[in-house]
């Protein structure tokens, strides 16, 4: 009966980072700089890959799509966060919140699968170089990337439908700087069992399986690199792989921490800064790491 008398909220309030005005200005400038670097870095990477013939290979095809995904996922989060830093009312409409959940979960899972595809590509290039051109054909690469987007779309739709069926009556304050699935489930006044099952299943089947693909691929890659006789070959292979592993570790580590931790294990500040890494920092780092540590990209520049 209480559920039927519930007045559904039409707007959510976002807690953000701090109420201190000086700290808010400092954070605004810091995140504005990060966002500008993210936009310029990812757009530059896409343009460079598109216009440079020496970068028309499977590795850079995946990297171009990763840059596009980072651009979209960052844009759905950071501009709203920047506006909240300089406005008194840190709110988002119910429809806007659902849209943010859908788009972020779509591109978040797409990136998760794309990183696994990139690890598989490096495994084939280093461990099976003779059959690499045959296996990683343009058609197969297109299918892998399309599959990544479809998995992301499935995840986005599933999570959004799940959370849109929940009731929000007692509180409308989200303890984060954007609408994320975990704090929304915690905020709901209705039965959240199904939502928790969908979230954990998605994170386990797609997130954990993708991270296992990365792990297994790099165990094989490192083993193959160590058996190389050429010091130059080892250096080049380690340089390429180190770039990928750096971003993968940050992205998978923080995102799996957020979505697979127990519901009772919640710390507002810790969760906020963990979310910053996979929503704001990683999209900025990807183009920087791949350009600064990659000889082919520097030559194309």
Total number of domains constituting the chain: 1
Taking only the tens of pLDDT, the chain with its 301 residues reads: 445 566 677 788 888 787 788 888 899 999 999 999 999 999 998 998 898 888 888 888 998 999 999 999 999 999 999 998 888 788 888 899 999 999 999 998 999 899 899 889 988 988 888 899 898 999 999 999 999 999 999 999 988 998 888 888 767 788 888 888 888 888 887 878 888 888 888 877 887 888 888 889 888 888 888 877 777 767 776 766 776 777 777 777 777 666 666 655 555 567 778 788 888 888 888 888 776 666 677 676 6
Buried b (16+ CB within 10 A) or exposed e, 136-171: beeeebeebbeebbebbbebbebbbebbeebbbbee
Domain span at residue 140?
Answer: 12-300
pTM: predicted TM-score of the whole model, two decimal places: 0.87
| Domain at 44, CATH number | 1.20.1070.10
Q: What is the dihedral of CA 62, 122, 149, 160, to 10 degrees?
A: -120
**Gap between the Cα atoms of 123 and 126, Å rounded:** 5
Q: With contact defined as beta carbons under 8 Å apart, do 248 and 216 qualify? A: no
- The DSSP call for residue 263 is T
**Residue at 67 is within a domain:** yes
Specify the long-range contacts of residues 50-59, CB closer than 8 Å, at least 24 apart: 52/300, 54/296, 54/299, 54/300, 55/296, 55/297, 55/300, 58/121, 58/136, 58/138, 58/141, 59/118, 59/121, 59/122, 59/125
Q: Is residue 296 part of a domain?
A: yes
Residue 146 within any structural domain of the chain: yes
87 CB-near residues (< 8 Å, 6+ apart): none
What is the maximum alpha-carbon separation in the chain?
Answer: 73
Kindly state whether residue 7 falls inside one of the protein's structural domains: no
φ, ψ at 14 (rounded to 5°) = -100, 130
Report which secondary-structure segment, H or E, holds 93.
Answer: strand 91-93
Question: Rounded to an integer, what distance in angstroms lies between the CA atom of residue 283 and that of residue 122?
Answer: 21
- How far, in Å, are 54, 106, 143 from residue 197 at the CA level? 45, 18, 29
Assigned domain for 170 exists: yes
Residue 289 domain flag:
yes
222 located within any domain: yes
Name every residue whose Cβ is closer than 8 Å to that of residue 10 and which is 6 or more positions away in sequence: 93, 94
| Position 2 in a domain | no
């Amino acid at each position: 009966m209480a559920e039927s008398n519930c007045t559904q909220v039409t707007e959510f309030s976002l807690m953000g980072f701090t109420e201190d005005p000086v700290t808010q200005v400092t954070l605004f400038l810091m995140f504005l700089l990060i966002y500008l670097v993210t936009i310029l870095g990812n757009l530059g990477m896409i343009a460079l890959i598109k216009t440079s013939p020496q970068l028309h290979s499977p590795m850079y095809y995946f990297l171009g799509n990763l840059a596009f995904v980072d651009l979209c996922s960052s844009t759905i989060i950071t501009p709203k966060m920047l506006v909240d830093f300089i406005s008194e009312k840190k709110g988002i409409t119910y429809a806007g919140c659902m849209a943010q959940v859908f788009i972020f979960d779509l591109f978040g899972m797409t990136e998760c699968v794309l990183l696994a595809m990139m690890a598989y590509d490096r495994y084939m290039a280093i461990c099976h170089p003779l059959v690499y051109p045959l296996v990683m054909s343009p058609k197969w690469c297109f299918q892998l990337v399309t599959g990544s987007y479809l998995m992301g779309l499935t995840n986005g739709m599933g999570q959004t439908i799940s959370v849109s069926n929940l009731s929000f009556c007692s509180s409308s304050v989200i303890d984060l700087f954007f609408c994320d699935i975990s704090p929304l489930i915690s905020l709901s006044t209705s039965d959240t069992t199904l939502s928790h099952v969908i979230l954990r299943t998605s994170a386990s089947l797609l997130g954990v399986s993708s991270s296992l693909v990365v792990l297994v691929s790099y165990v094989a890659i490192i083993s193959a690199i160590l058996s190389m006789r050429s010091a130059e070959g080892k250096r080049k292979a380690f340089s390429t792989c180190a770039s990928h592993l750096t971003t993968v570790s940050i992205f998978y580590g923080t995102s799996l921490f957020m979505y697979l931790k127990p519901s009772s294990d919640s710390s507002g500040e810790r969760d906020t800064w963990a979310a910053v890494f996979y929503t704001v920092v990683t999209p900025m780092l990807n183009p920087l790491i791949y350009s600064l540590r990659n000889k082919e990209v520097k030559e194309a520049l």
